[in-house]
Amino acid sequence: MGSTDAPRYAELDVGFTGDPLALVARLAGSGPHEDFVVYEDGGTWSYAGGALAEVRLDRHGATLDGAATARLPWDGDPLGQVRALLARVPVPGWRAYGTAAFELSYAKGGDRAHLDDETLLHLVVPVSEVRLSAGRAHVRCADQTALAALLDLLAAPDAPRVQDPVALDVRQVGRERYCASVAAAVGEIAEDRLQKVILSRLVEVDRGVDLVGTYVLGRRGNTPARSFLLRLGALEAAGFSPEIVVSVTADGVVASQPLAGTRALTPDPAANQRLGEELLASQKEVYEHAISVKVGNDELLTVCEPGSVTVRGLMSLEQRGSVQHLASRVTGRLVSGADAWDAFAAVFPAVTASGVPKEAAYDAIRRHEPEPRGLYGGAVLTVDESGALDAALVLRTVYRARGRTWLRAGAGIVGQSEPAREFEETCEKLDSVARFLVPAQVPVRVRA
């Protein structure tokens, strides 16, 4: 740290005109870096390309590569190792972007029994970063050639291409298996083995998909809390997150956002109002939401100042693309000595993607789902040197890796759940992505 040889960013502000969504998609699709993360947080769109430094975590330990290097063998505190490696990043004012797999939930307490060799967390401090907000682009770049390419892209006129999606019918596959899993989980709940579990199903996409085009059309057709588009090594994803896992400001204000309880969102306002009223009146949906909020509240109590944890907007209705949810926001202030990684460890994975109690839910998920989740139910996140962190829950996403493309969605199972209704809920959620799949311009080989 502090070496005169440490990478440094050239920084400048430039104006831009047009749609920031189209512009950030242009940076992703035509920019100078093969690997990138696009992240939307409120009114700010960020593009992060290339890697000055990378932190990776798996069952063997954590590594830092790039501007500095270090290897930390597994010691039972994986997020503590991530914190320690980020402290060694020799880039002034660094901000990292990356992913956390759902299976990090098993490892964060030291348990490796259910892990294979997958990457659990991957963070990148980029070579280039562009943040778009209110007609201004703040550009940071540690490479002059990449900087020139980015400035050219920012100055180029908008040239939108017509992109027609080909919708995927998600109702024709997986019904029997999913309904059987739901019925089994309802039986386990009746035996008091757990109170709630989110069970997901996977839908294969049997054609090539233009992920940048899908991201643009999907973002225009959704109303997410966060959105993201990424290519990190073999993993690609485009998603429209309905909620955050957790956010932490530089001065220690922490928030989570449980969404649980779902009805469809249709083109008919009168039907939406009726469905929203039905949602608010449903004993099953209100119970599902209430136990999720209680867990979210209890988790923040472990890392926040006494008396600071508050539930705001209890059971308000939030529209998220193809569905509407019961939503609440739990906020607090970190206790002295705690940081963003403590908050992330307390909350991850989101209760709305796991269940109650979490350990029992993990066991049910492993038994009833066809394969590990990977990024589904995990997080796309940003963290920076100031201590701020923002983690989007990975749902409503299209995934691609090693020639395979797929969608995945789940539903919250409680004692009153009916398998057919839970299957339909997964379809309603899948439609938030399945309606916007843009065919690839060049054929992509997919797994049968």
Q: Which residues are catalytic?
A: 243
Directed axis angle between helix 358-368 and helix 175-190, to 10°?
150
How long, in residues, is the chain?
448
Residue type, 103: E
The whole-angstrom separation of Cα 339 and Cα 342 is 5
Helix (H) or strand (E) holding 349: none
- Classify each residue of 272-283 as buried b or exposed e, where b means 16 or more C-beta atoms within 10 Å of its C-beta: beebbeebbebe
Of 103, 86, 123, 97, which is closest to residue 38 (Cα–Cα)? 97
The whole-angstrom separation of Cα 137 and Cα 108 is 37
How far from the centroid of its chain's Cα atoms is residue 257's Cα?
13
Backbone phi, psi, residue 398, to 5°: -105, 135
Contact partners, residue 16, CB within 8 Å, separation at least 6: 23, 132, 135, 136, 137, 154
